[in-house]
Amino acid sequence: MFELSKDHEDFRAAVRDFAEKEVDPHVAQWDKDHHLPLDVVAKMGEMGFFGLVVPEAWGGSAETVDGVVQSDFTALCVAIEELGRIDQSIGITLSAGVGLGINPILIFGSDEQRDAWLPDLVAGRRLAGFGLTEPDAGSDAGGTRTSAKREGDEWVINGAKSFITNSGTDITSVVTVTARTGTSDSGRPLISAILVPSGTPGFTVEEPYDKLGWNISDTHGLSFADCRVPASNLLGGEGEGFRQFLKTLDDGRIAISALATGLTQRMLELATDYASTRTAFGRPIGANQGISFQVSDLAVMAETSRLLTYKAAWLKDQADRGQRSSAEVARAASVAKLYTSEAAVSATRIATQVFGGNGFMEEYPVARFYRDAKILEIGEGTSEVQRMVIARHLGLPA
C-alpha cells in the first residue's frame, strides 16, 4: 500500500513526459489568454487518460473479470497528479472530464446511454459536465432548486447552475443536471439526474467566469428555461440523484487530492531549486535555517499528501471489487481532500515566500500556482464539509 506498482510508476513517467513536453512550454501563455487547448485534450484521449476507469466495451482500458470491472482509479490519480504538477487547469480538465463527465454515465447510466456518450468522451473527442452547484445550493446540495417536470415523454427543466467545469467548450457534448422531480411521501424533494445534450433549446451556457485562478479551465454558469429532453435521458431511476451525486463527490474528492498533491510536489521542487541557486549575503539562501526549514515542511506536506491520496485511491479500487466498504472510501476521501487541499494552499504561500519578490511576478510559475490553489479548499466539498463528513464517520452527534 506504500508503494505503487511498476506499471503505475511507468505510467507516471509517461504522463510526466507528456506534461513537460506538451503542456509546460505553453501553459503560461494559455493562462494569460484563458485558453483551453482542445488539441491537448485530444492527445490526452489518445494516450488513454480518459479511459482508465472505463471498460473496453466503451473504448477504455479497464478489463472485466467475472462480471466485475477492474478499473484503475489509482492510475487516474497518477495522471491527475502529474498533469497538476505542471498546471492545475489541465489537471482539473481531466479530473472533471472523468469524475464528473464520464463516471455518472458509466456508473448510473443504461447501456444505451453509455453507447451514445462514452466512446467520444473516452477518446477525448468530447467533454461532459456535471450540473450540481446552484446560486443558492453549494455545500447544501440537497437544496437544489432546479426543477424537472414530466410532460408525456419529456422532462421540462427550469433553473440555473453555477461553476460548472467543461460545460461550454466547443467539444462539450452533454451535461448531467440534478433537478427536483417531485416530493417523497415524507415531504423531502426527489432529486434526479438528467442528461441534457449541448445545444438543446432552452439550455443556455452563460459567459465564462472571470476567475482568480484555473484560467485555462472551462467554467460557466448554466440556465434552463423550459428545456425539453426525452424522458429516456433520466440517469438511473427517478429520485436517485442525491445518492448518485454523493457517490460522484466521494470519487471526485480523491481526484482533487491527487491534483493538490501534484501542486505541493511542484512547490517543493521549485522552492528547493530556487533556495539552492539564489544567493544573498554571499551564499545560497537555502543555507539559512529560516529557508531550509520551510522547504523541509514542503517535503513533509508532499509526502503526507501522496500517502493519503493513494491510500484513498487504493481503497476505492478495492471497494469497486467488493473487497472494502464504501464507508471506508468516503471517510478516506474526505481525510485526503481536507489535508491535501489545505496543504497545497500553505505550500504555495511558503514557496512564494521563498521566492521573495520574484514570487509575486507572473513570470515565475509559483504566482500562477498561488492563484490556482485556493479553489482546492472549495471545490468538491469545502474544508468545512469535509470536517462534517469526518465527524460523522467518527460517530459524533449530527
- For the annotated catalytic residues, the residue numbers are 380
- Structural Rg of the chain based on CA atoms: 21
Can you tell me the distance from the alpha carbon of 396 to that of 364, in angstroms, rounded to the nearest whole number?
45
85-108 burial by CB neighbour count: b if 16+ within 10 A, else e? bbbbbbbbbbbbbbbbbbbbbbbb
Strands 63-65 and 147-151: unpaired
| Percent of residues in the chain assigned helix, strand, coil, to nearest 5 | 55, 20, 25
Cβ contacts of 207 within 8 Å, gap of 6 or more: 220
Q: Across the chain, how many H-helices and E-strands are there?
A: 12, 12
Q: What is the DSSP string of 198-245?
A: TT-TTEEEEEEP--SS-TTS-EEEEEEEEEEEEGGGEESSTT-HHHHH
Cβ contacts of 59 within 8 Å, gap of 6 or more: 51, 118, 119, 122, 123
- With contact defined as beta carbons under 8 Å apart, do 160 and 223 qualify? yes
